[in-house]
Amino acid sequence: MTSLDWHRVAYVEFAFATVTLIIFPLALLVASVRVPAVRMRMLAYWRAAALLGITVYLWIAEMTMGFMTSVAARVIVPLVLWRGDIGATWKHPLPEPTSWQARVYRVWWYFVVVYSVAGAVSMIPMVGCAITGDAPASCQAWYGPPQAYASLFHEGADWWMLGRWAWVALSAYSLYLMATMYRLRQRTSERA
């Protein structure tokens, strides 16, 4: 693929992911305020999807760690959608399609699980960008859409500083993930 082809792929993927993984779930979260089972699942989704936002900010500063977080997010999001958050799953099982919110959630849920798994598989070759530090066209293309986003919403901001804040957010996210894994281990050992 040429450099131009990689840029097209990256922009289409960014636009599609923005609609599918940000705008639509935000609307569904607002619509599900009075449907606890959907609301709890959507809140669990947003905790997992925060890693997608961190990826965007790492890519704004052209930090190669974004390739690792991109794959990790595409693995974590379907896991959370499949299993739910630790507390949400047991208190609120997967919603039955009794309300329109639950029906829409189920359709979106299936789609995002498949889309995220396919995205994780397609991004595995890009992990080499983080490991080697090389910057071929296939790697550079992924920086374009987040930088266009930064130009719109962070005009005049230092992109390197945005990337450093992404590292702070990644550290906090990692601590939260470790605490969640610890709680899960505690709960499973209590059940045994």
What tokens does 129 get? 């960008």
138 CB neighbour count, 10 Å cutoff: 18
Q: Tell me what percent of the chain is helix, strand and coil, each rounded to the nearest 5.
A: 85, 0, 15
Quote the pTM value. Answer: 0.88
* Maximum separation of any 2 CA atoms in the chain, in Å: 55
Burial of 75 (0-12, 13-18, 19+ CB in 10 A): middle
Tens of each residue's pLDDT in the chain, 192 residues:
787 898 999 999 999 999 999 999 999 999 999 888 888 889 999 999 999 999 999 999 999 999 999 999 999 999 988 876 555 555 556 667 788 998 999 999 999 999 999 999 999 988 888 887 667 888 899 999 999 999 999 999 999 999 999 999 999 999 999 998 898 788 778 776
Report in angstroms the alpha-carbon separations of 111 from 107, 156, 168. 6, 37, 31
